[in-house]
Structure formats: structure tokens, C-alpha cells
């Protein structure tokens, strides 16, 4: 068993409402099951629904990997119910920043006056691990590796290898004039590439009515296709949707991308992709 389930697919901030009900309005949270291993990538607002779904599986042992610590990737952590229950165990991984460790960063958003409950009051066992670029983590028969992406403040992309198959999570990254060699290597021959396609090509360059987004740390579906082809990967998943893009807009982007690269899908909440 090797599959991916999406619980949050937005960037920047949650956007609930009737115009986003199909794609979903929650920010980044991805569940990966690799055999008996539960792997969680980021804890945006989608982590709340994931946590509720896991209450029937306790006691839980899971690994949580953070791409980076911008708020839309951690804001659901204080609402992740299994973290409050004794007997559950979580290993949390992410890049250490010069100013703080993972535990200090997660604790900071829960300190007064931001939140009424502190990190220390979460009853589950939590083990924090600072990752170096390129470091491999073995989780049962799965191996998780990382690479540094192009995003303000830094961001890790992750690759999960299991049973001869692989999935890559590459959210919050901006393309260069050439394909990023680190990301190309990370995505080499991957079965599934989940890629930051926050902007359309026109939005990225800028139009009369919109400012250019160059340097904002995000990419386009055109560059996702460029990467998936050069990396000889397979399925491309459009991800980290702009909060201003409603359901119709995301589906239009998906159709435009599919016309160029048919094995493309726009991530939506509840989407499950079976890898093996």
C-alpha cells in the first residue's frame, strides 16, 4: 500500500466558501501511507480534518515533515487533535533555522496571546529532529530524502521512496531560467510530482491588471511540465493553489496543463492517488 491523500491544497491562507468548495479552501497538508508508515507533510489548516480522521486509529505513531514554517504550513498544528492525546507518538522533522529550532517555532505560534493552549500541554510524545539538506530518514521500508528549494527563507522539497516507487512533494518553490538541478534530481523518475503551481504564466510575468510575481517564491504549471519532462517523472499534480483562484479558475488551469501534458491533475481536498 502506497498512496497520497490531500487534506489541504491552498497557499497563503484558508479560503472557505461556496466558490472554493470543490477544490477546497484549506492550506497545505498531505498524508502519505507507505506500508504501515503514516507520513504527514506540513500542517496547514487541512491538518485539523486529518487529525479528526485519525482518531479511530489510535494509538498513533507518525512522522510529520515540514517543508518550511510559513504560517500557512503550520497553522493547523494547534488544532491537530491526536497531538493532545497521551499514548500517541510523533516525530517531527524540518530544517533548523538560525533563529530557532522546530519546537521553538511551533511553540511560538501557540504562545500567549496567539493561542490559549501551549505546546507543552499537548499530551502526545513528540520528538523533534532538525534536518540537514540531503539527509535521508528511514521510516520502516520507506526512505525520505530532501532538497533545498527556491523560496524566501528556504523550503525543503521531499521525496518518499517505497517498494520501488516514489512521490515528490515540491511545494513553495520558484523556477529559474533553467530547470532547478536540485529539484530535477529529487524528482528523477518519480511516479508522482506534487508541484507548486500557484500562478498562471501570465500572472507570474504580470499583466496590465496584475503585478509581476517574480521573486515571490512560487511557480506555474508550464514550469511544472518542464520539470516533470526533464526529470522523466510521470504524473504531475498542480498544488498550492492561489487563494484568489476559485474552483472554475483551478479547473481551467488544469485543462490548459492537460492539453500540454495529459497526465496532469489539480489537487483537491479528498483526492487520493494510489502509487503502488
d(C-alpha 169, C-alpha 39), whole Å? 12
The count of structural domains within the chain is 1
Q: What is the pLDDT of residues 140-196, one digit of tens each?
A: 999 999 999 999 989 999 999 999 999 999 999 999 999 999 999 999 999 999 999
The set of residues, in sequence order, having a beta carbon less than 8 Å from that of 57 and lying 6+ positions away, is none
Question: What pLDDT does residue 23 have?
Answer: 98
Task: Read off the CATH number of the domain in which 133 is found.
Answer: 3.60.15.10
Q: What is the percent of the chain where pLDDT is above 70?
A: 99
Q: What is the mean pLDDT of the chain?
A: 95
Q: What is the pLDDT of residues 71-100, one digit of tens each?
A: 999 999 999 999 999 999 999 999 876 567
Q: Which of 201, 267, 198 is nearest to 237 (CA)?
A: 267
**Parallel, antiparallel or unpaired: strands 142-148 and 156-162:** antiparallel
d(C-alpha 120, C-alpha 78), whole Å? 11
Q: What is the pLDDT of residues 49-69, one digit of tens each?
A: 999 999 999 999 999 999 999
| Mean pLDDT of the 250-274 span | 98
Question: What pLDDT does residue 207 have?
Answer: 78
**Parallel, antiparallel or unpaired: strands 125-131 and 137-139:** unpaired
Question: What pLDDT does residue 249 have?
Answer: 98
Backbone angles phi and psi of 256, in degrees to 5: -65, -40
* Residues forming beta bridges with residue 156, ordered by sequence position: 148
What residue numbers bound the domain in which 90 lies?
2-274
pTM of the entire structure? 0.96
| Mean pLDDT of the 229-242 span | 98
Amino acid at each position: 500500500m502506497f498512496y497520497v491523500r490531500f487534506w489541504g491544497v491552498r497557499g497563503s491562507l484558508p479560503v472557505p466558501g461556496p466558490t472554493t468548495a470543490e477544490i477546497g479552501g484549506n492550506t497545505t497538508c498531505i498524508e502519505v501511507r507507505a506500508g504501515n508508515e503514516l507520513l504527514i507533510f506540513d500542517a496547514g489548516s487541512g491538518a485539523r480534518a486529518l487529525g479528526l480522521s485519525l482518531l479511530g486509529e489510535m494509538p498513533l505513531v507518525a512522522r510529520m515533515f515540514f517543508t518550511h514554517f510559513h504560517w500557512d504550513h503550520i497553522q493547523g498544528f494547534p488544532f491537530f487533535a491526536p497531538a493532545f492525546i497521551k499514548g500517541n507518538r510523533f516525530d517531527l522533522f524540518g530544517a533548523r533555522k538560525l533563529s530557532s529550532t522546530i519546537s521553538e517555532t511551533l511553540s511560538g505560534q501557540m504562545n500567549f496571546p496567539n493561542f490559549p493552549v501551549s505546546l507543552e500541554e499537548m499530551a502526545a510524545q513528540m520528538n523533534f529532529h532538525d534536518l540537514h539538506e540531503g539527509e535521508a530518514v528511514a521510516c520502516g521500508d520507506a526512505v525520505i530524502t530532501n532538497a533545498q528549494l527556491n523560496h524566501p527563507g528556504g523550503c525543503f522539497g521531499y521525496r518518499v521512496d517505497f517498494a520501488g516507487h516514489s512521490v515528490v512533494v515540491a511545494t513553495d518553490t520558484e523556477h529559474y531560467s533553467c530547470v532547478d538541478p536540485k529539484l530535477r534530481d529529487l524528482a528523477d523518475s518519480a511516479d508522482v510530482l506534487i508541484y507548486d503551481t500557484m500562478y498562471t504564466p501570465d500572472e507570474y510575468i504580470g499583466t496590465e491588471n496584475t503585478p509581476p510575481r517574480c521573486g515571490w517564491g512560487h511557480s506555474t504549471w508550464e514550469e511544472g511540465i518542464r520539470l516533470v519532462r526533464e526529470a522523466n517523472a510521470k504524473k504531475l499534480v498542480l498544488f498550492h493553489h492561489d487563494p484568489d483562484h476559485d474552483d472554475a479558475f483551478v479547473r481551467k488551469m488544469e485543462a490548459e496543463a492537460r492539453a500540454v501534458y495529459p497526465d496532469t491533475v489539480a489537487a483537491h481536498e479528498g483526492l487520493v492517488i494510489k502509487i503502488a
